Each structure stands twice: as C-alpha cells, then as structure tokens.
Amino acid sequence: MTAFADSSVAPSVTTGPITGSRKVYTDSPGGLRIPRRRVELTNGEHLDLYDTSGPYTDSEATIDVHSGLPRLREGWGLEPVGGAVSQLAYAKAGIVTREMEFIAAREGVDVELVRHEVAIGRAVIPANRRHPETEPMIIGKKFLVKINGNLGNSAVTSSVAEEVEKMVWATRWGADTIMDLSTGKRIHETREWILRNSPVPVGTVPIYQALEKVDGDPAKLSWEVYRDTVIEQCEQGVDYMTVHAGVLLRYVPLTARRVTGIVSRGGSIMAAWCLAHHRESFLYTHFEELCQILRAYDVTFSLGDGLRPGSIADANDAAQFAELRTLGELTHIARAHDVQVMIEGPGHVPMDKIAENVRLEEELCGEAPFYTLGPLATDIAPAYDHITSAIGAAQIAWHGTAMLCYVTPKEHLGLPNRDDVKAGVIAYKIAAHSADLAKGHPRAQERDNALSRARFEFRWEDQFNLSLDPDTARSFHDETLPAAPAKTAHFCSMCGPKFCSMKITQDVRRYAEERGLSTVEAIEAGMQEKSEEFDEQGGKVYLPVVNP
C-alpha cells in the first residue's frame, strides 16, 4: 500500500455501535460468521437486522485505517473453471462459493436460489479477488433491494480524509455499496484508502481517472490510456466499474433537441470524443478486450446509461432507449465471457413512465440487475432531490430494480457533505425497504411490525431503537417532552394525554379483557354491563403523567 506511505492524510472515522443495538455474529451452515445488528427490546425480545456497517460498529474490533480492514475473503478463491474465476462461471458450473454461502445466510434465503440467480445473470456478486476486505453481498430482484452511496472529491473541494469518513459513515447508515467518483487530485490514493477500509463493494467510473491523465481534454483520450487505467483499478481491487460503452456516435444527434442534452459525465465525455474524432466509441469497439480484463479479476460491469434523461421532458426518449438496446447487446457479450453485468438506469422520470423503464431493461438486457439513479419524479425541488428521487426510487424498485443509487439534498447544487450523505442514505433505505414490503419480501415486514407494536405499547425507547435513525427520532421526541417520565408516558406532545388514540384504544381493549373476554366476544355477547363500569375502568382516559 505504497500510496499510504507518501500520504499525509490520517483519516479519523466514526466507530462504535448505533444507539440501541450491538453487533452480533451468527454462524452459517458452513461455519462462516455472518454479521448482524441486534436491537434488544425492553420487552425481552430482540430483532436482528441486515448489517452493512462492517467492523466499525463492533465494539470488540480494533480499527486501524492505516493497515485497513481484516482480509475476510483471503484464501476463498477457487481454481478457475474454463479459465474464469468469476462468481458467474462458478454458478454456471454448479459450484457454490463461500461468497454465495455467506450471502444466503445474510439474506436468509436458500443458497441454491443465490447460485441459480447468479448463474442466469439475474443477480450479481460484486467481489474483485483483489478486494478481500468486503463482506459478500448480492444485487438482484429476488433479494433485498440494495442502495449505493456516491462519494469522491471534485477538483474544487473535499479531502481524502473526508471521503474515507464519508464511506464509513454511509455504510454505518446502510449503504450496501459505495462508488468513488473522485475527479480531483490524488485519485489513486483516495481510492486506495477507501478500498482497504471499505466493508462493502466499491465501484468506480474509470473514464474519470483516464480524463485526468489527459489533462481533462476528452479528445485526447485513447483506448490505451483507458485500458491501462482499468487494469490499474482492477489490480487495486475495485469491485464494479461503470462503462459507458453504449454511447454510440450515431446516438449523439438524438440528444440535440433535448431540454437537458447529455447529463451523464461519462456519457458527455465519450460523446465529445466520438465527435472530435468522428469515430465509434473505443469503449464499444474494444469491448471484448475489456471483458477479458474484468474476467481475470471477477470485476462486474455496470453498463452506464450515458444518455439517461436529465429532466422530466427528456424521459423515455429515443436517445435513452437506443442506448439501452446497445447495452443489451453488450450484456450478452459480457456473459459469454463469464463476466457479471448490471445495467444503469435513469435519472429523471415522471411516475407514469417508470414501469416502462424496468420492463424494457429486462426485455433487452436479459434481466440483468437494474441499477437506477433515483429517478427524480419532478425537477422543481433542488435542495430536496433526496425526496423527489426517493418517490421514484421506491416505485422503480417495487417494479424490479435491484439497486438504487442514492441522491443527496445537494444534488444539482454542490458536493455532499457528511450530513448530506446520511440524509441520502436514510431516504434511500426508506425507498428500498418500502419496495421490499410491496414485493412481499418474506422478512421485510418484521421490522415494521416490531416498531408498530412498540409504538402501540408506548415502548418509546424500542420505537426509537428500531427506527432507521434512533438518534434523530429520540431527539425529535425530546424536543417537546425532554424529561424522563415522558419516555414511559402513554402519549406524546402531538396529541397530549386526553387525545392519544392509542391510549384510548388500549382502554377500550382493557375494558373487555378485564372481563376475560376479547373485545370481539365482549361486543358479540352484547355487553349488558352498565356504562358506569366503563367509566370506572377505562373511560376516564386522562393520565396524570403530564409533563409540559
């Protein structure tokens, strides 16, 4: 890790468990240790949650960012099959890898489902052999919807240390993968710090570094510069790479009459190159050579949507779908080389045009996992695009999108800071989980039910600790009712003691239960008791725990 030697940076990262929970490890059938976040409840129960945060939230673990995370997957590598070392090659050959076993236990599904979905290309396991620090995860419509958090500095702001902390911070709150989109100085070094310390797969867009190598002039790019950059990043351990190989010369004119033209950085760079040389994109003409390189490391393709719409007006247009058709063609070429593939999607799409995006992607790209950026359901709310896009993301995930790339409140305005990263991750955990519920994921509703029961039973601490952000939920409650008694009060400041519907409902139930009847039977039996009884028992709903 020579990059570290020269380095002046010394990132300090957030460690320790999330409030109200602790790291536990459960054994897989094959004896692998599966990390979970356990929330202990005040009623003696507990709930184990899917955990993306890595060793940073384990109070037993010692964290040293200079030596990096433990190399969990070291020695997991198997002999090549047919010359390939990819999860896809093994899955096709009927081989269950340790990554697949880890994932099956982590998702609570049958390992054969994991192998099958990878074998047919409907799911991918981004796991570069040179990145043994990652905890294996899967991206596919049959599994929990995943979210990605974008990091990376730009020429005008942010430091390496900041980006490493953003990575730890993003995974703490639930990012399943992160992308390092650095475009400024010290790209290689920033990436080295992130890779060695990331518990989740890391994606990149190699064209950014390639462009830096030619002083930011797209016309000066060449296949050779790009190829060497890809090899450099494969060697370093990048797990998946965005490649805008679908931006063909003949598609550029289709963007001429758009409201917002080309909004993908990689897409606009390749369009500029194609026009400058009036030649077909070298990413397209050299695609098979790219497959050979990625195959050797088991790096996953994330075929980029360089022509995605950048506004509601441009959604689902000819340019977007022309590129998607080409991505489908490339998908089949990559699979023939046993290289895993996912497909990137928009962007900005009104709700009525969202489902069509998923349908077409599945049809044209052989059901390769879809990985979308939002989409934003409207353009009119800069500073709130984590919300405009969570609306679109929840729906597109429900329709089958496997991974959602988050959007932060700073989208379109500036580089996100640490708080923006958290806001983006939380909004996307909401979108992803809402989709898991709508898709009927067998275990998704456990958490909703546990939290709702805690809410109904006034177990305030449990309600906070089961939420996506216990600290904020608790502080919002305490703003108006800070004192300790309020943590057990059968009301909150929203309605006050007399008007808490849940309190009244409980009185209603107690009324019946104290008579050894369920409310149902109580009513069905006709309930001849005089009304005074109810008054004595539960009719008086005022509770003297007032705490202004």
- Binding-site residues from annotation for substrate: 150, 179, 208, 244, 264-266, 305-308, 344, 371
Q: Which is nearer to its own copies, 67 or 449 (CB)?
A: 449
Report the residue number, 206 or 267, with the smaller CB distance to its own copies: 267
- What strand order describes the sheet that includes 21-27? 21-27, 33-40, 46-50
Task: Please state the residue numbers annotated as binding site for Zn(2+).
Answer: 348, 412
The minimum distance between CB 425 and its own copies, in angstroms, equals: 11
Contact 26, 105 (CB under 8 A): yes
Crossing angle, helix 160-173 and helix 187-197, to 10 degrees?
A: 30
Q: How many residues would you count in the chain?
A: 548
CA 427 to CA 7: how far, in whole Å?
Answer: 34
Cβ 86 to its own copies, closest distance in Å? Answer: 31
Minimum distance from CB of 99 to its own copies (Å)? 28
Phi, then psi, of 25 in degrees rounded to 5:
-125, 130
Contact 247, 323 (CB under 8 A): yes
Smallest gap, in angstroms, from Cβ of residue 234 to its own copies?
22
Which is closer to its own copies, CB of 188 or CB of 509? Answer: 509
Torsion, Cα of 67, 70, 73, 74 (10° steps): 60
Give long-range contacts, CB 8 A cutoff, 24+ apart: 255-262: 255/307, 255/319, 258/309, 258/310, 258/311, 258/313, 258/314, 258/317, 258/319, 259/310, 259/311, 259/313, 259/314, 260/309, 260/310, 260/311, 260/313, 260/314, 260/348, 261/310, 262/306, 262/307, 262/310
- 102 vs 33: CA distance, rounded Å: 8
Q: State which residue, 65 or 473, has the beta carbon closest to its own copies.
A: 473
Distance CA 310, CA 125 (A): 29
Contact between 89 and 100 under an 8 Å Cβ cutoff? The reply is: no
| Binding site, annotated residues | 150, 179, 208, 244, 264-266, 305-308, 344, 348, 371, 412, 492, 495, 500
> In terms of DSSP bridges, do strands 46-50 and 33-40 run parallel, antiparallel, or are they unpaired?
antiparallel
Nearer to its own copies, 67 or 285 (CB): 285
CB of 514 to its own copies, least distance (A): 13
Asked whether 338 and 88 are in contact (CB, 8 A), the reply is yes
Q: Find out whether 131 and 76 touch, Cβ atoms under 8 Å.
A: no
Q: Closest distance between its own copies and the C-beta of residue 130, in Å?
A: 27
Instruction: Give whichever of 336 and 351 is closer to its own copies, judged by the CB atom.
Output: 351
- 163 vs 338, which CB is nearer to its own copies? 163
Give the count of beta carbons closer than 10 Å to the beta carbon of residue 42. Answer: 13
What single letter denotes the amino acid at residue 39? V
- Choice between 78 and 276, CB closer to its own copies: 276
How far, in Å, CA of 244 to CA of 94, rounded? 32
Kindly state the smallest distance separating residue 333's Cβ from its own copies, in Å.
25
Cβ at position 201, least distance to its own copies in Å = 23
Nearer to its own copies (CB atom), residue 1 or residue 355: 355
Structure tokens at 254: 């289709």
φ, ψ of residue 247 in degrees (nearest 5): -85, 90
- Smallest gap from Cβ 53 to its own copies, in A, equals 17
Structure-token pair, residue 448: 């909703």
